[in-house]
Structure formats: C-alpha cells, structure tokens
Chain A
Amino acid sequence: MHWSRKLISRLLRYAIVISTLLMLWKSLILATNCSQPILVVLSGGYSFHNLGDLLFVTNYPADSIRAGDVVVFRIEGRFIPIVHRVIRVHEREDGYVKFLTKGDGNSVDDRGLYSVGQLWLEREQIVGKVKGYFPYLGLFIILLSNLPLLDRLLLRVVT
C-alpha cells in the first residue's frame, strides 16, 4: 500500500476513536442535563472528598435542590466550580429560589467565596447535584492536567 494511504487510514482510525468518545461525552451531558456530569476533585479540604475522586453530577430541573444536598456551583468569573452543601433554601411563590452553601469542614458559610455583594446563590449558578462518587479514578486526569494546554479541557472541581 502506498504510504499516504496507510497514513490516511491510521488518521481515520484515530478520528473515529476520538469522535466516538466525544459523542459519548456529549450524550452524557444530554442525559444528565448537566454541563459537567463528571468532575475530578482537586483539593482535599472536604471531609469525604479526597484528591482524585470522581463525582457524578446531574441537573434535572424537576429534581429540586433542598437543604442538605451537595451541589456543584460556579461563581461568576471563576473557572473552577466548587462542591459544597446547601444549608439554607428560600423559595418564593413565583418560583424564584435562593440558596446558601457551606463546606462540611468549614465553620462559616460560603458568603466569603461568592462575588462581592452576593449573599445568595441562584439556580443558574448551580451546575448540578452530586449523585455518586468513585474514589481515586481521577488521579490520572490530575496528572494530565499538569500539561499546560490540556488544563482548560479537563473537568476539575475544588471542594
């Protein structure tokens, strides 16, 4: 076979693998209704989340967020989302709801983490609820994230 044919066939095989993975990932995003359905824990400050653990997140609108739920949220202007527990919920008749969160190991709530002047979290800032957990699997991703370009692609979260 001509060398160019071999090259093209190899490239096509790689392309198939990559596009299949990408399709699986996007389907997972659709199935969970969440922009980041799997996250890797970056910092080990939380009681049960250790470095490298995988978190499975969903974001169904009918699955309302109540006190005690562990949620993933993102503050405006910050790239890495935070995983903490909801400690206060106030919902109005018209459906507008606001939340306050706090890390399990912290003695103060997260108001110091929110943007300046922000006292409550709103539904749009919440990426989803943590539904499941698998230990250690994410350590490989953390090792990869030390490569400068891959940084932005990888799904990490701080606790």
Chain B
Amino acid sequence: MHSFLSRLNTLFAFTISVLAALTLGVFISTYFEQYHGTVSISANKPIVKHMTDFSANRKKNDLGVLQLNMDMDLNPLFDWNVKQLFLYLTAEYVTPSNSLNQVVLWDKIIERGENAQLNIRDMATKYYFWDDGDHLRSNNVTLTLAWNIISNAGRLLHVRADGSSSFIFPGEYVTSRGKNSGRE
C-alpha cells in the first residue's frame, strides 16, 4: 500500500484539494469588494463627418471624431484576486431612431504589476465612432469610463467609474475636399 505510485496518487490528490481550497478562499475573500474609483475625462475638438461606412451597410453614416484627455490612478484596485483590469470608454447618446446608443471608443488592458496611473492628453479614439444613422450633429454625448475586473477566480465584475463627462457635437458637418472622398 505504500508503493511509489500510490504515494504519488495521494500527493496529487492532496495538491489538487489544497489548490481548490485556496482558489475558493481567494474568491470568497474578495467577493464583497466594490472596486470603485474616480477618473477625470474630457473630450477635445469634437467634429462630425458624413461618410460611407464600408465596414457596415455601405451607406453614408455619421462619423464622430474627437480627442480624449483622461486622468486616473487605478493602483488601489489591484488586490490579490485581480489579475487584470480591462478598461473601456463608452460614449452614450440618444437619437431619433434609436433610444439608446452605446459605442466603445477606447479600451486598454492593464496587467497586475503594470503602472495603473494614466495621464492621457489629446489621444485619438481607438475605434471609429460610427452612428447607426446620421444623427450625431448637435447630439449630447456622455463619456463614461468603466473597468472589468478580471480575477483569478470569481465574478466578472463591471464597475463604472465616478466622473463621466459630456460634450455636444457641432451642428454642421465637416467636409473634406470632396463629398465622395470616402474613408480618410
């Protein structure tokens, strides 16, 4: 009963049990954590273009262009159960055809150990701000930053940061050289 294999088997089973208990402990110890934070966001120079969206329905839709300023310090959010933070900036607005629109303009992954303090100035949006239609002119858009807590084991939590900001697009299109110049 004390052969090499049976000892190996016992060792293996014990290791797995301990790992499982540790994981459960990590999960329970951070279950009630809220992970709140405050950020400061602002948008510069918002303009609206009217162009053909080749990635979608090939019709002319409104394209919003703006630059972002963001300040945040997220180092306090990393505890022993946080493997990674997935940050995303959402633009939310209302149009006559859609009562709710949300477009993610920017995202970033911050791993544990990386510097989580960001001071961003005049950054272009990472993704195109296409509207589903042509209702961006004079539209009041709210920018909200949120993060997804990626833990070692546990809930996938989405937390909205305090400190959203809004801006209003101008009422006129910005036209480039020709109306049919397509995507720039």
Contact = CB atoms under 8 A, between A and B. Distances in A.
Interface of A: 47-48, 66-70, 85, 87-93, 97-98, 104, 109, 111, 119, 130-135
Given A68-B146, A90-B98, A90-B132, A104 B153 contact: no
B103 interface: yes
B127 interface: yes
Contacts of A48: 83-84, 86, 150
B154 A133 contact: yes
A140 to B, nearest CB: 11
B42 interface: no
Given A47-B109, A119-B56, A134-B23, A89 B101 contact: yes
A78 to B, nearest CB: 21
23 contacts: A47-B86, A47-B109, A48-B83, A67-B92, A68-B148, A68-B158, A69-B158, A70-B156, A87-B127, A88-B104, A91-B98, A92-B97, A93-B99, A97-B100, A98-B132, A104-B107, A109-B55, A111-B55, A111-B56, A119-B57, A131-B155, A132-B155, A135-B23
A25 B1 CA distance: 37
B155 A90 contact: no
Interface in B143-170: 146, 148, 150-156, 158
B156 A132 contact: yes
